Amino acid sequence: MSTSEELKNVVREKYAIIAGQTKEQNESSCCGISGCCGTVDYAVFSEAYEKHEGYVSEADLGLGCGIPTEFAKINPGDTVLDLGSGAGNDCFVARAIVGEKGKVLGVDFTDQMIAKARANAEKLGFNNVEFRHGDIEQLPVGGNSIDVVISNCVLNLVPDKAKAFGEIFRVLKPGGHFSVSDIVLSGELPEQIKGAAEMYAGCVSGAIRKETYIKLLEDAGFINIRIEKERAIVIPEEILLSYCSKEELEKFSDKGKGIFSITVYGEKHKSACCTPGSGCC
């Protein structure tokens, strides 16, 4: 994998297949595709949504690594944007909070996921939930139009994270905020894992160091950034050993190094607009 577009195609093709499967199929396979083993089991990332108002089982493919709505401070009447909305799981949970006077918009670049999400919304009779096809690095959303941005285990799949964070800043209203769950690293992944396309699509090798992730958010212009939740992700050793030696794995696992799920919150200043340095204010 040498270009951003190649990486995007890998992810797009993988999630197109996943869109046709159930949550049980995704969690029982090793790489998110039934009958395929040797990479990531999504069950090690996902958290249980069943007790959350608005939960729709048909929209839950078990692909998240947190529950970003828990810390999103969504209010009734808000306009919420979900990045990488999949089959609509987080959108429907957000809708239960914004109510009939609010709006929820989901963006995804996989046609099959958009179709599945729209079918779910139509079945439920929701007229204030919309799903758009689009790239997170160039969102099909107007500037200064969103109250809250959420995302669940998606942004680490985006090749240009600085551009993605810049887009989040652009679309948020002044005083708006985000809550995203994602995968980050403490320490560096062995090169063999970094270069493995299937591991990338499985939310591992696209991850960056936690401090780098936070710095990119700061550079995008966000303030009051804080990690609301963090937990270690334990991937079976036999899977990782398919990509690196035992010595490399031991070195990576030593002294607090590892793979973590975080839910991070941040705000756009009330006096801010557009993108820092754009001169549009």
Predicted pLDDT at 44: 58
- Report the range of poorest mean pLDDT among 11-25, 37-51, 211-225, 249-263: 37-51
* pLDDT at residue 68 greater than cutoff 90: yes
Higher-pLDDT residue of 14 and 144 is 144
Query: 81 pLDDT band (50/70/90 cuts)?
Result: very high
How far apart are the C-alpha atoms of 60 and 183, rounded to whole Å? 19
How far apart are the C-alpha atoms of 252 and 229, rounded to whole Å? 23
Predicted pLDDT at 22: 63
* pLDDT at residue 19 greater than cutoff 60: yes
- Report the range of poorest mean pLDDT among 163-172, 234-243, 265-274: 234-243
Higher-pLDDT residue of 231 and 7 is 231
Query: 8 pLDDT band (50/70/90 cuts)?
Result: confident
Query: 192 pLDDT band (50/70/90 cuts)?
Result: confident
Query: 198 pLDDT band (50/70/90 cuts)?
Result: low
Region 4-267: CATH code: 3.40.50.150
Average pLDDT over residues 136-152: 98
Percent of the chain past pLDDT 90, that is, above it, reads 56
Q: What is the dihedral of CA 190, 195, 196, 198, to 10 degrees?
A: 120
The total of other beta-carbon atoms located within 10 Å of residue 159's CB is 17
Least Cα distance to 81 among 147, 34, 138 occurs for: 147
Mean pLDDT of the chain: 86
Predicted pLDDT at 31: 41
Predicted pLDDT at 24: 62
* pLDDT at residue 243 greater than cutoff 60: yes
* pLDDT at residue 242 greater than cutoff 70: yes
Least Cα distance to 200 among 16, 24, 4 occurs for: 4
- Report the range of poorest mean pLDDT among 33-42, 76-85, 176-185, 208-217: 33-42
Predicted pLDDT at 85: 97
| E strand map for the chain | 79-83, 103-108, 129-133, 146-152, 172-186, 208-209, 223-233, 258-267
Predicted pLDDT at 279: 46
* pLDDT at residue 221 greater than cutoff 80: yes
* pLDDT at residue 32 greater than cutoff 60: no
Predicted pLDDT at 244: 85
